[in-house]
Amino acid sequence: MKLILLGLVVLLSSAFFLTSTVKAIVQFGKCNDQMQYKQNLQVSSLVGLWYQVATYRTFLERGVCASINVTLSSDGSMLNIAESHYRGGRKDYFNLTASPNATTPAKMIVSYQVPQRRDQFETVQFPIQVVDTDYISYLLVWSCENSRTALYSNEMAWLYVRTLDEASHYQMRTKVWDRLEDFGMRRTYFQETRQTMCDYKELE
């Protein structure tokens, strides 16, 4: 019995390690279904350029000069998100779409295409929710998915500002950063995204 339990622990630990280094922060237990979200979110007010200033510490989030450019689809039903960042001296781009929930717009399903074979793609989806934003200076986004067995969950979070000036950073610090624990997030999970020596002229 002890050997079985030990094997289970090793198996779970290996899965946790692989998942956490590639995808997200991994925690025992289910996602926090009481996580706060922005009430009556005005989806159209999210349109525009946002600069990433912090994110959860994961392998995929080690880029610098990260940003998202948000636009509305032609029918206004979803958001198109163009994400970019530098990593290893190369600029990477990702195109995603976010479909807001009809009754709770702050909760969305994000979709993107992953190449599988020649001319073949797989659609990957994951949930996000806007925890808080004032639309003009800061944006806090959270994501969490339960494992199939519900033994653990994969968690991500991103913090953005509208501009890289002191005014936006002040609003972000006082209204979000200093209140992360109140939102149910751990500040120690976040790492700062470097936003120095970045060329954003092509995005303006």
3-state secondary structure of 188: helix
pLDDT tens, residue order, the chain (204 aa):
443 333 333 333 333 333 333 356 888 889 998 999 999 999 999 999 999 999 987 655 566 888 999 999 999 999 999 998 876 667 788 899 999 999 999 999 999 988 887 778 889 899 999 999 999 999 999 999 998 887 889 999 999 999 988 888 888 888 899 899 888 888 888 988 888 878 765 544
| Annotation: CATH topology of 2-203 | Lipocalin (2.40.128)
Domain boundaries of the chain, sorted by first residue: 2-203
> Quick one: which of 157, 128, 110, 134 has its CA closest to 46?
134
3-state secondary structure of 186: coil
Find the DSSP H helices in 57-177.
Answer: 166-175
3-state secondary structure of 27: strand
